[in-house]
A and B are shown apart, each in its own frame.
Chain A
Amino acid sequence: MSEILELKNISKSYGSTTVLENISFKINNNEFFTILGSSGSGKSTIIRMIGGFTKPSSGEIIFANKNINDEPIFKRPFNTVFQDYALFPNMNVFDNVGFGLKIKNKSKEEIKKNVLNVLTVVGLEHFSNRMPQELSGGQQQRVALARAIICEPEIILLDEPLGALDAELRKQMQLFLKEIQKKIQISFIFITHDQEEAIFLSDRIAVLNNHKFEQIGSPKDLYYSPKTTYMAKFFGECNLIKCRVTNYDSESIKVSSAFGSFNIPKNKNLNNESEFIYGIRPEEVKLVRQSEKSIKVKIKDINFRGSTSTINATNDNGDSLIKIQNISTNISKSLSINDSIDIEFNTDLGSIFIE
C-alpha cells in the first residue's frame, strides 16, 4: 500500500474560534478512511480543505509529494459527494453524471459510453432522463456518487453522504458504498458521526474530539487497544478503574484498586507505585467461583436482556461501580439484587491509561 495524500499539522481557525488543531494523517491507496466526530467537531472542514473549498490556517496538504495548499479546486484530482447531494437542478441525470467529462472536453461518444457505464455501476441505468427533483434521496445520492466516480479521481471525499437518509435506506447505502469502493478501487475519505456506520465501512477510522484526532486506526485497533480513556468509552462500554501498582516483579504486576487487588501482565510503562487507570470492557469481566484471584462484589441491579443481560455491581463500600456482561443464562436466572458474586478480569484484554 502506498500513500497518496498526507495532511501535515493542519490547523484551522475562524477568527478566535479554533476548529482544528494540529491534524495529521496519511491516506493510502484504495483505502476507505473515515473521519468520525460529533457534529460541529470540524470534520467537514477537513475534507473541505482537501477539496480546496477552504484553506488551512497553517500546515500542509501534500498530494503526490507536492504541496497543494494553493491549488484551485478545479485542478485537484479529488471529487466530492456533498451532504445534500448538490445535483445540478437544470440537468437530467445523464448530464449531471457526464458534466465532469464535458468540462474536460471529452467527445460525445466517450461521455455517453462512460455515463451509461457508471450509471450501471450505481444501478440507475434506467433513470438517465430523469431530473434530480424526480428522484428519491437514495437515488440522488447514487447520482452524486456516480458524478464523482466518472471523473476517476484519486480520492473521493464524502461529506456525511448518508446523513439525510432514513435508517433502512442508510443500511442499504452503506452496503452499496462498501461494495462500490472495493469495485472501483478509489480511496474514499468518508465523514460521519455514526459509530456503527464507521466501523462497518472503514479500513481505518480517525476519531475527532475537541478539534484534535484522538486516535487513528482500524476498527479493531480502536476497539481492542484504545489509547485514551475517551477512546475506551467511545466504542462500546468500558469500566475504568483507578489503580496503583503495589508489587512490581518480573512475572506480573500486582495492583490495588477500590475493588481490591488483582494481577495484570507485565507492562513496561508501569513501575512500582505508579498510578493509572485500568480499562476493562464489561464482556471481559467473568463471573467465577470464589478463588484467591477473584474479586468479591455486590449486585446493584440486573439489566435483564436475555443473552445480553448486564449486571451493575459495586464494591463493599458501594462507592465504585462495575459493569459485567456475557453472563450465562444459567447463572443470571439465579441471581438477585444484593447478592455477592465473584468476578475475575480477563487481564489479557485490559487497557492501561497513564494520566
Chain B
Amino acid sequence: MNSVLNYFSTSIWTIVSFILVIFLILIPLFSFLSYSFFTVDGTDIIHEFSLFNFKEFFIDEIYIRTFVRTIFLAIIVMSCCIMLGYPVAFFLARYAGRYKYVILLMLIIPLFMSYIIKIYMMRSILGYSGLINKVLAMMGFIEKPLEFFLWNQNSVIITLVVILLPLIIIPTFTSLDKIPKNIVEASFDLGCKPFQAFRYIIFPISFPGLIVGSIFVFILALGDFVTPQLVGGTSGFTYGKIIYSNFGMAFNWPFGAALASILLFVSVIIILLTNYLTNKLRT
C-alpha cells in the first residue's frame, strides 16, 4: 500500500514537472517557431506556411551582415570579460584569504540591480558630460569631450562588459576555489615552477568554469538589444535591435520570430560545439 502511494506521489511529481516544461517552455517555443513561417499583409498576420521570412533573411544582405557583426561584438565582449574576469577570479580565489567571499558578494550585488539602471549608470559615466570626460577635462588632458565613449560600438562593448563581468567571475571563481591546496603543492613537489603549476594544473581544472561563464556572456551579448538602444546611438545597430524593432515598431511578428529563431539556432549550435570541444580537449 505504502509503496503504491509512494509510486503515485513520485509519478505525480514527474507529471507535474513534465507539464511545467511543456506549458512554460515547449508550447511557447513551438508557437514562436510556427510564427516564423507566417507572413504579414499590412498589419494582418496571414496564418499560412511560407518560407518567405527565411528567404528575406538570406536575400537582404543587411541582416546577415548585422548578424555577423553582432557575433563579432559578442566575441569581443566575451574576450574582454575573460581577460578581465579570469585574473579577478584567480586572485580572489587564491590570494584574497578570508575576505574572498565578502569581495565576491560585492561583485554579485550588481546582478540584483535593474539592468536598465545599470545601462543608464554607464551612460552617465561614459557620456559627453559624463564622469570620465569631466575628470579628464578637469585635469586638463582634454579640451572638448571625447566622443570615443558614447553613441558608438565602443560604448556598447564597454557597457556590456561591465554588466556581464560578474557572470564570468562567479563560475570561474567557484571552479578555482574548490581546487584543494595540496593539489597545487603536489605540482610544485613534482617539479613545477609557479607558471607551470598554473599552466598544467590550475588552468585546466578551472577551464570548465571559465567556459560556462563565457557561454553565458556570449549568448547574452549576442541577443542584447537594450544596451545598443540606449548607449549605441546609430552605429550600435545590432541583431537584437533588429529583432526588437520587428516586434516593437514594424509589427512584423513573423519576420521577428524568424530572425529570433535563427539566433536561437545559432546559439544552440555554439553551445553544443563548445561542449563537444571541451570534452574533446579533456581526453
Contact = CB atoms under 8 A, between A and B. Distances in A.
Looking at chain B's contact residues, the main secondary structure is helix
Contacts of B190: 74, 79, 99-100, 103, 147, 151
A334 interface: no
B279 interface: no
Given A90-B201, A90-B204, A74 B183 contact: no
Given A86-B182, A89-B205, A90-B282, A73 B200 contact: no
Contacts of B201: 88, 90
B192 interface: yes
B44 interface: no
B188 to A, nearest CB: 4
A269 B205 CA distance: 63
A25 interface: no
A42 interface: no
20 contacts: A53-B188, A79-B189, A79-B190, A80-B185, A82-B186, A84-B182, A86-B185, A86-B186, A88-B183, A88-B186, A88-B201, A88-B205, A90-B201, A90-B205, A99-B187, A99-B200, A102-B200, A103-B192, A103-B200, A147-B186
A252 to B, nearest CB: 56
Contact of A74 (B182, B192, B204): B192
Contacts of A84: 180, 182
A51 interface: yes
Interface string A214-228: 000000000000000
A104 interface: yes
B11 interface: no
B191 interface: yes
With most chain A CB atoms within 10 A of its CB, the pick from B182, B191, B192 is B191
Interface in A92-135: 99-100, 102-104
Given A90-B201, A90-B204, A90-B282, A104 B191 contact: yes
Contacts of A52: 188
The 7 A-B residue pairs with the shortest CB-CB distance in the complex, in nearest-first order: A100-B190, A86-B186, A73-B188, A86-B182, A103-B191, A90-B204, A80-B189
Contacts of B187: 88, 99
Interface in B79-94: none
A82 B191 contact: no
Interface of B: 180, 182-183, 185-193, 196, 200-201, 204-205, 282
A22 B224 CA distance: 66
B193 A82 contact: no
B183 A100 contact: no
Given A72-B188, A100-B190, A103-B196, 20 more contacts: A73-B185, A74-B189, A74-B191, A74-B193, A78-B189, A79-B189, A80-B189, A83-B182, A86-B180, A86-B186, A87-B186, A88-B186, A88-B205, A89-B183, A90-B201, A99-B200, A102-B200, A103-B192, A104-B191, A151-B190
B282 A82 contact: no
A209 B80 CA distance: 56
Contacts of A83: 182
A72 B189 CA distance: 10
Contacts of A100: 190-191
Contacts of B282: 90
Contact of A53 (B183, B185, B192): B185
Contacts of B185: 53, 73, 80, 82, 86
B93 to A, nearest CB: 16
A330 B64 CA distance: 103
Contacts of B182: 82-84, 86
A151 B191 CA distance: 9
Contacts of B183: 86-89
B190 to A, nearest CB: 4
A84 B183 CA distance: 10
B20 to A, nearest CB: 33
Nearest to B185: A53
Interface string A144-164: 000100010000000000000
Contacts of A102: 200
A73 B190 CA distance: 9
Contacts of A53: 185, 188
Contact of B189 (A73, A87, A104): A73
A44 to B, nearest CB: 11
A102 B192 CA distance: 10
A53 B183 CA distance: 12
A221 to B, nearest CB: 32
A82 B183 CA distance: 9
Nearest to B183: A86
Contacts of A88: 183, 186-187, 201, 205
B91 to A, nearest CB: 21
A88 B191 CA distance: 14
Contacts of A78: 189
